[in-house]
Amino acid sequence: MPVALALAEMNSLRSGDKSTLAEVLTSGVECPPDIPPADDSCLIIDGQALLIALGKPHGAVTFGDFADAFVKSVLHSGRNCARIDVTFDRYYPTSIKGNTRVKHSKGARPVR
């Protein structure tokens, strides 16, 4: 088999329920309201989630204005960290996410 049977459904890869996984991974874990300064701390930011959370920043007219607001938000969030990593996901057409997108798509969508 090209993939493990535990990962497959009929003619496609099995998709998971991220909200259930997040609940299991975070149960019994308390997150502090702020990260204390430390020489060995690292902050990892989901770049796409931050882009969506920022929306259109007040006063942003150009892409450069938006980029400045994005960088300011990243630096503010990681002000107590020794290292900040910003990651962006990439979904390939043959991935589980790509398959989910195909299932949910209803044809062409206009660019907004």
pLDDT at 40: 85
| Cα angle, residue 14 at apex, residues 10 and 16 outer, rounded to 5° | 155
pLDDT at 32: 76
Q: Splitting the chain (112 residues) into consecutive groups of 10 residues, what average pLDDT does each group show?
A: 61 65 82 77 92 90 94 92 89 68 64 52
pLDDT at 84: 94
pLDDT at 106: 65
> What count of other Cβ atoms lies within 10 Å of the Cβ of residue 99?
18
| Cα angle, residue 4 at apex, residues 1 and 20 outer, rounded to 5° | 155
Residue with tokens 């049977």: 5
Task: Give me the amino acid identity at 110.
Answer: P
